[in-house]
């Protein structure tokens, strides 16, 4: 099995060889490593994308808006970079629609990192596939096949408000239970607590 570090370095060098700058190539390396760590076939999709990259006329999204449609297909790397770079402004939209993007799995890694930057979960629906990005800590998805995704006709993104998964009554109950750990200290309780205690063998 290839290490994540090896995957990152190799995809970075391959991206430079295909024509991207070192700065963009470094971002691609980080992102493919991220996808592989989350169990998504990033390298497989990147490899197929680079086979057609130089012979295809992929477009870029210069400024992300609520609805984005190219004449041909968007480049997942350049469009993903702009999505990530514009993270402070795009979160003002409740939803964003991106139509016709090539090899969209590569784009998803930028969305995951954007979730961390803006501090919000992002729900993404790509045709019949769904993804939930959790602050770049995990990706929940119903996409489990590991196939190459050559294109997506429509991607919808929603920025989710942060809220607890529990109600105030549940919080009060668990909080009151936690208060039972605070008891008056005595010599006997001190002897029972973790630590060196009354003797120290060090």
pLDDT along the chain (202 residues), means of 10: 96 98 98 96 97 95 95 97 94 93 97 96 94 95 89 96 94 95 63 54 50
Note the pLDDT tens digit of each residue in 62-77. 999 999 999 999 999 9
Helices (H), 38-119: 42-52, 76-85, 87-90, 104-118
Tokens 């001190």 sit at which residue? 190
């Amino acid at each position: 099995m290839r290490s994540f570090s090896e995957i990152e370095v190799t995809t970075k060098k391959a991206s430079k060889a295909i024509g991207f700058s070192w700065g963009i190539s470094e971002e691609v390396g980080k992102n493919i490593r991220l996808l592989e760590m989350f169990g998504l076939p990033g390298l497989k999709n990147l490899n197929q994308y680079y086979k057609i990259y130089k012979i295809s006329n992929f477009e870029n999204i210069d400024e992300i808006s609520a609805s984005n449609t190219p004449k041909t297909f968007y480049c997942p790397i350049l469009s993903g970079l702009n999505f990530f770079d514009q993270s402070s402004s795009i979160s003002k939209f409740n939803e964003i629609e991106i139509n016709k993007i090539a090899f969209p799995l590569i784009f998803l890694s930028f969305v995951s990192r954007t979730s961390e930057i803006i501090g919000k979960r992002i729900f993404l629906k790509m045709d019949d596939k769904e993804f939930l990005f959790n602050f770049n800590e995990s990706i929940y998805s119903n996409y489990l096949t590991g196939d190459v995704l050559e294109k997506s006709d429509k991607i919808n993104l929603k920025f989710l408000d942060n809220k607890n998964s529990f109600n105030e009554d549940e919080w009060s109950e668990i909080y009151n239970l936690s208060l039972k750990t605070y008891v008056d200290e005595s010599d006997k309780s001190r002897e029972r607590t973790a630590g060196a205690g009354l003797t120290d063998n060090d």
